[in-house]
Structure 1
Amino acid sequence: MFWKLTALSASSPVEAVLDKENFTLEELLDEEEIIQECKALNSRLINFLRDRAQVEQLLRYIVEEPPEDAENKRTFKFPFIACEIFTCEIDVILKTLVEEEELMNLLFSFLEPNRPHSAFLAGYFSKVVVCLMIRKTVPLMNYVQVSNIHCLIYFLKFKVFYPLVLHCNLGAEIVF
């Protein structure tokens, strides 16, 4: 089992960032292999990303428009990677999100009236909410019922969500 020997294994660029003493979320998001490392359940990476501060920053990339003078990474790459991290369906990251009302408020602040968003961010927001509807149904629906009922009304405008809402509220079978 030579592949378990550290001398013979190649270290990923993500591991190199994690090995640094003072690294940032942005350094990780800039690494090409971050999504693969998330899907491979890299424990060091996931332990970093599950931290409340990191989840909050990932959400900000999805729900807040970047400044007009922002670099392309901030405008396009970081929101895309943030969305992909959430949709990797890593339970501890999603759990951090749904268990913090403040983070859920931040996510759903995207729906505030008179708040323009790019089509990119709208798509990323939708993907994250659908992921939560599938993987964290009960906490999401509890949040919507208690804190943000107008969000449910907004989603009811889209027929694709009917089966999920019925399933959540009535225990009905989902049929597509």
Structure 2
Amino acid sequence: MFWRMTGLSAASPVDTILDKENFTLEELLDEDEIIQECKALNTRLINFLRDKAQVEQLLRYIVEEVPEDSEKKRSFKFPFIACEIFTCEIDIILRTLVEDEELMNLLFSFVKPGQPHSTLLAGYFSKVVICLMLRKTSPLMNYVEEHPDIVVHLVDLIGITSVMEVLIRLIGADETIYSNCVDTLQWLENTDVLEMIVDKFSSSVSSKA
């Protein structure tokens, strides 16, 4: 009754961490209420997460494989939470990502040849890219247009279901995404992506014959 009458309430565990003089991103990611606080648009939390250094580290959890003997938090929990933070669709965090060439390069480094491309991280990568397609369509598509090798790399990974979903959306199966991107549609029409996909499947069939 006292708390209701005075209007006071206990601070959230996330705010308790933010109140500390020194805290780390990992401490926040390890807090069970962080996604709830993101969705509630906790201003202090979002102002911390929007910083380039934090966005970069969140991306690294999603695109970089770790040794098998790494802690479970690093291997599973932190990549999952990092993906969830991006897919909360907080505009200021997404803007930090799409407006920075280095961060976009880091995100799409996942599809480069020679990477492990684990199914788990591929799923997180795909969720983040699709989120950008929906919420930051123009800057995302402009980036892909300026880096055409991305399409080639996506085709190479078409055997991974989540990556295939990105490719399907990219080439326009979901036309609602491109309603305001006429230039992007024209560029996509001029690419050989459909031929690349056919060649990929043809070579796959030939290798199995």
Q: Give yes or no for TM over 0.5.
A: yes
Provide the aligned length of Structure 1 versus Structure 2: 168
The one-letter code sitting in structure 2 at the alignment partner of 1:151 is: I
Higher relative contact order, structure no. (Cα contacts within 8 Å, ≥ 6 residues apart): 1
Measured on the aligned residues, the alpha-carbon RMSD in Å equals 2.1
Partner of 1:18: 18
Partner of 1:170: 185
Shift of 1:18: 0.4
The separation in 1 between residues aligned to 2:37 and 2:64, in whole angstroms, is 26
The separation in 2 between residues aligned to 1:132 and 1:3, in whole angstroms, is 41
Partner of 1:108: 108
CA contact (8 A) 1:133 1:164 kept: no
Partner of 1:160: 168
**What TM-score do the two structures reach when normalised by structure 1?**
0.88
Map 1:10-159; keep pairs closer than 5 Å: 10-146=10-146, 148-155=147-154, 158=164
Shift of 1:152: 3.0
CA contact (8 A) 1:63 1:125 kept: yes
The separation in 1 between residues aligned to 2:5 and 2:81, in whole angstroms, is 29
Q: Which runs of 5+ in 1 are unaligned?
A: 172-176
Q: Per the alignment, in what secondary structure is the counterpart of residue 129 of structure 1?
A: helix
The separation in 2 between residues aligned to 1:5 and 1:138, in whole angstroms, is 48
Q: Per the alignment, in what secondary structure is the counterpart of residue 163 of structure 1?
A: coil
**What TM-score do the two structures reach when normalised by structure 2?**
0.74
CA contact (8 A) 2:14 2:37 kept: yes
Change (3 A) 1:86 1:116: same
Q: Per the alignment, in what secondary structure is the counterpart of residue 89 of structure 1?
A: coil
The separation in 1 between residues aligned to 2:15 and 2:116, in whole angstroms, is 37
Shift of 1:52: 0.2
CA contact (8 A) 2:111 2:154 kept: no
CA contact (8 A) 2:17 2:23 kept: yes
Query: Which of structures 1 and 2 has the bigger CA Rg?
Result: 2
The separation in 2 between residues aligned to 1:4 and 1:144, in whole angstroms, is 55
CA contact (8 A) 2:111 2:117 kept: no
Partner of 2:206: none
Shift of 1:55: 0.1
The separation in 2 between residues aligned to 1:3 and 1:10, in whole angstroms, is 11
The range that moved more, 67-76 or 158-167, is 158-167
Shift of 1:4: 9.8
CA contact (8 A) 2:99 2:139 kept: yes
The separation in 1 between residues aligned to 2:66 and 2:11, in whole angstroms, is 33
The separation in 1 between residues aligned to 2:4 and 2:125, in whole angstroms, is 40
The separation in 2 between residues aligned to 1:154 and 1:35, in whole angstroms, is 31
The range that moved more, 128-137 or 162-171, is 162-171
The separation in 1 between residues aligned to 2:14 and 2:41, in whole angstroms, is 12
